[in-house]
Structure 1
Amino acid sequence: MELALLGRTLMKLGEAAIPTEGLGAYGTSEQSVVIVAADIKAHPGTPVKDIAARTGFPQSKVSACIARLKEAGAVETDTDPADRRRTLIRPAEAVSARVAEVRAADIDHILTAAMQDPDRLDEVKAALCVLAAHLDPGALARIAN
């Protein structure tokens, strides 16, 4: 239970750190977009149906997330040469301005505001780097097998 609560807290902090200035309202949560983006990164060149199966999201939600990611320049799509009815999604070759902005977002203010002891910010950031190194987006696929 503690792992689930920590995961939820980290997800919410991550969402809060994503810059949203100048963006319109969307029907998909930042969390679902991040999950779909991580799946696409782990499985480039994949169809919507497979992303839906791996994430557990309905195809309509996956399609909405992909539309947001495409608008941000984070992903690109191609027609599947084996089945022209399917679209394959992959991470964008070039980093768009929006993706660069999100990657450059400062998390210090979000973490500091959330921490009981803000003087330990560097320690918490180091711990997050260790977690990120050992629990990459492919971690969920590894435990599912």
Structure 2
Amino acid sequence: MDGGQLHRLGRRLIELSAAATGQPGDLELTPGERAVLEDVIRHPGGSVGEIRERTGFVQSHVSASVARLRERGLITTAADPRDGRRTRVRVTDRTSRAITRRAGRRIDNAVASAVADRAQAARALVLLDELARLLL
């Protein structure tokens, strides 16, 4: 496997993940909002500036995404007690529960839809479990 194949595989796995975990009525996020939210999940209590550094987005984009996510009740913001000019960002409990529910959805049907042959779909599930154990 070369880097290009790995990249395509990664993109395909992301597509399968979205198909497996997404359901009608789930929250829709822009790619920028998703990246900001993922950063906040990985780095609770991070500042807007730190999110900007980690995501590579410009400050105005991060600030706008944080404002939209806050308005939707997905994150909370608070002034840094040591430096009131900085804003600290955390996910809400409601968001954490929704992520946990979504992450717990089974992938079997998404894989079966992607791999027409039943035996190959079952093999793909076994290989994905093995890959997760090795890389995660």
Task: State the Cα distance separating 1:88 from its structure 2 match.
Answer: 0.8
In angstroms, what is the RMSD of aligned CA positions? 3.2
How far apart in 2 are the matches of 1:76 and 1:89?
A: 6
How far apart in 2 are the matches of 1:25 and 1:93?
A: 18
Structure 2 unpaired stretches of 5+: none
Contact 1:76 1:92 in 2 (8 A): yes
Q: 1:126 to 1:16 in 2, by over 3 A?
A: same
Count of matched residue positions in the alignment of Structure 1 and Structure 2: 129
TM-score, length-normalised on structure 1? 0.65
Aligned to 1:113: 113
Contact 2:44 2:90 in 1 (8 A): yes
Q: Are 2:119 and 1:123 equivalent residues in the alignment?
A: no
Aligned to 2:7: 4
Q: 1:121 to 1:4 in 2, by over 3 A?
A: closer
Aligned to 2:50: 50
Structure 1 unpaired stretches of 5+: 134-145
Q: 1:11 to 1:32 in 2, by over 3 A?
A: farther
How far apart in 1 are the matches of 2:71 and 2:23?
A: 16
Q: What is the percent sequence identity of the aligned residues?
A: 32
TM-score, length-normalised on structure 2? 0.68
Contact 2:73 2:92 in 1 (8 A): no
Larger radius of gyration: 2
Task: State the Cα distance separating 1:45 from its structure 2 match.
Answer: 1.3
Query: Mean Cα displacement is larger for which, 110-119 or 90-99?
Result: 90-99
**Equivalent residue letter for 2:13:** L
Q: Which structure has more helix as a fraction of its residues?
A: 2
